[in-house]
């Protein structure tokens, strides 16, 4: 895990107590921070180390850290902020910004607009798309710290047992299907994906030539490639039987951990879980769609640090 993004978080920490510390360098400041790193993961350990380093360099500042499950942090933050109990800093993802950015309490947003706190030179160090993902309307409600997306993970031991070559960047969707069919036997399925969750379908939709939005930002669910990609995606369970019927997010993780699925399409947020399961796993890109020559392209989600308006 690279530590280069931690200055983003530490920079936000320094923004918050500036007024108090400037008035009296001996003033003590306590900051409450919510993070959403997986418990006992390398990410969390590196994060906590960074906090310790920061406190050692700034003895007048105490940072109280609370870990909150990623899937719950947006709703818990909304409840806390509307009740006047928001943490000073919170780690959120770009797709959680819309709901939070819409809410007002006494006419004020729940998050601090960071534009007045950053110079143009400071803003220029960030990737334009990443920074744009932090905006709601004109306001800048966070600083991008990391990004993630779906990829193809596979169990090397199950491939070795069948004498099959590992997945690689040259795979097409037909290579994926063929390998999964060979690996599906007994209690083991070739692939674990939640076929009824659109987020996992979107990458294949792009590979088949479809797009989520047109050039003006309008949804394009009826664009070319949508029907073909959906038919192929659903066939993984309904026709080919390489995905266990009824697989959802939680069950696909357990299938992969228990070596009941040879491959899984998942993100880095579950890597710590698979590491803990001591699996011999590999990782590669999602396949290219043979008919179009386009690679299945997942959505990119940006994680950010935001400051509460109440802080």
Q: For 233-271, what is each residue's pLDDT tens digit?
A: 999 999 999 999 999 988 999 999 999 999 999 998 888
How much is the pLDDT for 27? 81
How much is the pLDDT for 250? 84
Q: What is the mean pLDDT of each run of 10 residues along the chain (311 residues)?
A: 51 54 66 91 88 94 94 95 96 92 93 93 92 94 94 97 97 98 97 94 95 84 88 96 93 95 93 85 97 95 93 86
Rg (CA), the chain: 22
**What does DSSP assign to residue 117?**
G
How much is the pLDDT for 57? 93
How much is the pLDDT for 47? 92
Question: What kind and span of H or E run contains 281?
Answer: strand 281-284
From CA 289, how far away is CA 121, in angstroms rounded? 41
* Cβ pair 62, 29 in contact under 8 A: yes
* Cβ pair 267, 149 in contact under 8 A: yes
Which tokens sit at 132?
């744009």
From CA 152, how far away is CA 182, in angstroms rounded? 17
To the nearest 10 degrees (0 to 180), the angle between helices 198-207 and 226-238 is: 120
How much is the pLDDT for 254? 93
How much is the pLDDT for 220? 84
How much is the pLDDT for 217? 81
The percent of residues in the chain predicted with pLDDT above 90, rounded, is: 76
From CA 245, how far away is CA 36, in angstroms rounded? 30
Domains (ranges, CATH) in the chain?
6-148+302-307 (3.40.190.10), 151-285 (3.40.190.10)
How much is the pLDDT for 214? 82
């Amino acid at each position: 895990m690279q530590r280069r993004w931690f200055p983003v978080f530490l920079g936000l920490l320094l923004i918050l107590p500036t007024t108090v510390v400037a008035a009296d360098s001996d003033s003590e400041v306590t900051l409450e921070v919510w993070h959403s790193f997986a418990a006992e993961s390398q990410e969390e350990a590196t994060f906590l180390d960074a906090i310790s380093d920061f406190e050692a360099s700034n003895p007048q500042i105490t940072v109280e850290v609370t870990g909150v499950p990623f899937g719950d942090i947006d709703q818990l933050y909304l409840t806390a902020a509307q009740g006047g109990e928001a943490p000073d800093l919170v780690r959120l993802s770009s797709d959680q910004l819309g709901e939070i950015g819409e809410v007002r309490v006494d006419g004020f947003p729940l998050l601090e607009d960071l534009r007045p706190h950053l110079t143009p030179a400071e803003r220029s160090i960030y990737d334009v798309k990443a920074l744009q993902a932090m905006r709601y309307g004109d306001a800048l409600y966070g600083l991008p710290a990391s990004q993630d997306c779906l990829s193809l993970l596979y169990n090397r031991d199950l491939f070795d047992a069948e004498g099959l070559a590992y997945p690689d960047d040259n795979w097409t969707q037909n290579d994926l299907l063929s390998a999964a069919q060979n690996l599906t036997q007994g209690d083991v399925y070739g692939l674990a994906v939640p076929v009824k969750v659109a987020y996992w379908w979107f990458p294949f939709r792009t590979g088949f030539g479809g797009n989520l939005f047109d050039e003006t930002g309008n949804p394009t669910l009826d664009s070319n490639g949508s029907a073909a990609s959906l038919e192929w995606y659903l066939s993984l369970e309904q026709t080919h039987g390489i995905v266990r019927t009824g697989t959802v997010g939680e069950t696909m993780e357990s299938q992969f951990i228990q070596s009941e699925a040879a491959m899984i399409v998942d993100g880095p947020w579950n890597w710590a879980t698979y590491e803990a399961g001591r699996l011999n796993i590999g990782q590669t890109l999602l396949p290219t769609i043979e008919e179009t020559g386009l690679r299945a392209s997942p959505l990119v989600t940006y994680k950010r640090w935001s400051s509460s308006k109440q802080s």
